[in-house]
A and B are shown apart, each in its own frame.
Chain A
């Protein structure tokens, strides 16, 4: 395990989140994510997975607690520094959030255009990415004319096109067939091997078995259950070797 892989990328300390005056949807959440790891965030429907991801991709500020991202306090982060942080993240939204008036190509190219990448450097990677998610022939199609699965693949392609430091995906395989789900997971793994930290929220327990080296965070009614302690401390190979039953495989 390299030094870089042990670098802390996200740290949550006693984080709580409530919307308005409702009761907390996340309570006393504490964990640390390390660079280059593959994490699954799992839990029943309504357990708080999406809320947790919103905190991770900086769409929401917590009601209390401390969040550190890329070594910086994300709660007191000035607004003008947020875009720089967000460009280091790739996000696959549960509802895809594709821009309706843009073609599949333009949707995938969006993060690169936002980052100011010259147009000549956009065409090939976007075309390749669309080919990879088997949408090469639909590159000019608008989201409304794509099926749910196709929209999801466009959303994934958009999230990974900028080679983010951390990929956050909310139920990324929910609308695709099993073969495509495996293919997308392989894409995430490939990205992970290149050094990207991957966080995938899913309630599909079968999916968890497909990535052998992944770590699992389980949310239960807004609280993080962490039976292995692996998330609080850098998990070591010995932990997994000595207590393999604690890691879901």
Chain B
């Protein structure tokens, strides 16, 4: 163990010494130029786009799980007595059917709460005069696919001829499609931001190479290798990107937090379902690391490519 620590310690010292010696070869304009700020903005935007993408994914996941086995039976009949009779008969038929996890008649109180935003609740609103359908909320053990819905329709129809049976997922399909499109949009934004970061680093590297061309030629003439010179630029870029990455992460997290508060205030079940879990936060925290790696790799490749043009 001691031997191992001695060896790793020696290696670390050697690496530090080499890094220190190489740092002196070129002036290190660390944290002084616009690069950390540009990277901070890129990372901040990437964090926000990723957080939105992940929240949308969570929303779709939770909503999909909620409605996957959900079937709604509506009894659409204007006569209250007949409506209630058919509702009870339909409930009994559903409960007798195979593959049913649960089935319940939605109480009148809940129905009133559902229509309250549109019809009101005060006596003068005369809400009872409107024929609101009776609802049966059914949960299947499996997925509410076409066969399952057809089976239910077959069993309910004789007992409740005014019943309309719909899989809940079919109502939400347009929402899922919209969420899917937004997720693609978030992915596209992340790809564009990564591309913009690469382009920025490329320009910065070329600019730095051009500024230090004289020194690089001297280092070359003294036997300096391309890898040595590339390492100097890599280190400089890594420091800039790390500073920008941390700043961008903070910016992105704060923005995401503010957005989350705004959406949470809506009080919609779907919005609260889009909360970020610890794995999501882990992914978000990895974004600056990815940004630094991308910047360093871009700097290395662009510098090595440019150096190939020199003898």
- Chain A residues packing against B (C-beta within 8 Å): 57-61, 79-80, 82-87, 89, 91, 97, 99-102, 106, 110-111, 113-116, 118-119, 158
How many angstroms between the C-alpha atoms of A83 and B40 in the bound complex?
37
Number of interface residues of B (CB under 8 A): 25
* Segment at the A interface, from B138-146, B183-191, B219-227: B219-227
Contacts of A100 on B, CB cut-off 8 Å?
215
Given contacts A61-B311, A86-B223, A115-B223, 15 further A-B contacts (CB under 8 A): A57-B221, A59-B311, A80-B226, A83-B223, A84-B223, A86-B220, A86-B222, A97-B221, A111-B222, A111-B223, A113-B25, A114-B228, A116-B18, A119-B17, A119-B21
Chain A residues near B224 (CB, 8 Å)?
83, 114
Partner of A79, one of B14, B22, B24, B308: B308
B contacts, CB < 8 Å to A: 14, 17-18, 20-22, 24-27, 214-215, 217-226, 228, 308, 311
Asked if residues B311 and A110 are in contact (CB atoms below 8 Å), the reply is no
A113-B22, A118-B17, A119-B17 given as contacts; is B311 within 8 A of A60 (CB)? yes
Residues of B with C-beta under 8 A to A89? 223
Name 24 interchain pairs, CB-CB below 8 A, sorted by A.
Answer: A79-B308, A79-B311, A80-B226, A82-B311, A83-B220, A83-B225, A84-B223, A85-B223, A86-B221, A86-B222, A89-B223, A91-B222, A99-B25, A99-B215, A99-B218, A101-B27, A102-B24, A110-B25, A110-B218, A113-B24, A114-B219, A114-B222, A114-B228, A119-B17
* Chain A, Cβ-Cβ closest to B20: A119
Chain B at the A interface: mostly helix, strand, loop or mixed? helix
Contact A87 B311 (CB under 8 A): no
Residue from B18, B214, B224, B228 whose CB has the most chain A CB atoms within 10 Å: B224
Residues of A within 8 A of B22 (CB): 113
Assembly CA distance A141 to B308 (angstroms)? 33
CB distance from B137 to the nearest CB of A (A): 72
CB distance from A119 to the nearest CB of B (A): 5
Please, which residues of chain A bring their CB within 8 A of the CB of B223? Answer: 83-87, 89, 111, 114-115
A158 CB, nearest partner CB in chain B, Å: 8
Alpha-carbon gap, A113 to B24, bound state (A): 9
B115 to chain A, nearest CB (A): 76
Contact A59 B221 (CB under 8 A): yes
A116 to B17, CA, bound (A): 9
From B14, B24, B218, B311, give the contact of A97 (CB < 8 A): B218
A85 to B223, CA, bound (A): 7
Q: Most chain-B Cβ atoms within 10 A of its Cβ — which of A80, A87, A110, A114?
A: A114
A74 to chain B, nearest CB (A): 11
For A106, list chain B residues within 8 Å (CB). Answer: 24
The 10 closest A-B pairs by CB, nearest first: A87-B223, A86-B223, A113-B21, A83-B223, A114-B224, A101-B27, A83-B225, A111-B222, A114-B222, A99-B215
Q: Residue of B at shortest CB range from A113? A: B21
Complex Cα gap A85–B308 (Å): 17
Complex: A166 Cα to B225 Cα, angstroms: 20
**Chain B residue with the shortest CB-CB distance to A84:** B223
A155: min CB distance to chain B, Å:
10
Min C-beta distance of B216 to chain A, whole Å: 10
Bound-complex Cα distance A86 to B226 (A): 13
Residues of B within 8 A of A59 (CB): 221, 311
Q: Give, as a whole number of angstroms, the nearest-CB distance from B207 to chain A.
A: 17
Query: B1: shortest Cβ distance to chain A, in Å?
Result: 26
The answer for the CA separation of A85 and B225 in the assembled complex, in Å, is 11
Alpha-carbon distance between A85 and B221 when the two chains are bound, in angstroms: 10
Q: Which A-chain residue is minimally distant from B308 (CB atoms)?
A: A79
Q: How far is the CA of A158 from the CA of B222 in the complex (A)?
A: 9
* Complex Cα spacing A119 to B13, Å: 11
Q: How far, in whole Å, are A59 and B221 apart by their CA atoms in the complex? A: 7
Q: A152 to nearest B CB, angstroms?
A: 15
B230 to A: closest C-beta gap in Å: 13
Chain A residue with Cβ nearest B18 = A116
| Shortest CB distance A99–B (Å) | 5
Residues in chain A near residue B20, CB distance under 8 A: 119
Measured CA separation A146–B217 after assembly (Å) = 22
Nearest Cβ in chain B — how far from A80, in angstroms?
Answer: 8
Q: B16 to nearest A CB, angstroms?
A: 10
Give the chain A neighbours of B308 by CB distance below 8 A.
79
B218 and chain A: residue at smallest CB distance: A97
From residue A154, how far is it (CB to closest CB) to chain B in Å?
12
Please give the distance in Å from B220's CB to the nearest CB on chain A.
7
Contact indicator A97/B225 (Cβ below 8 Å)? no
Question: A169 to B291, alpha carbons, bound, how many Å?
Answer: 46
Bound form: Cα–Cα A114–B223 in Å? 7
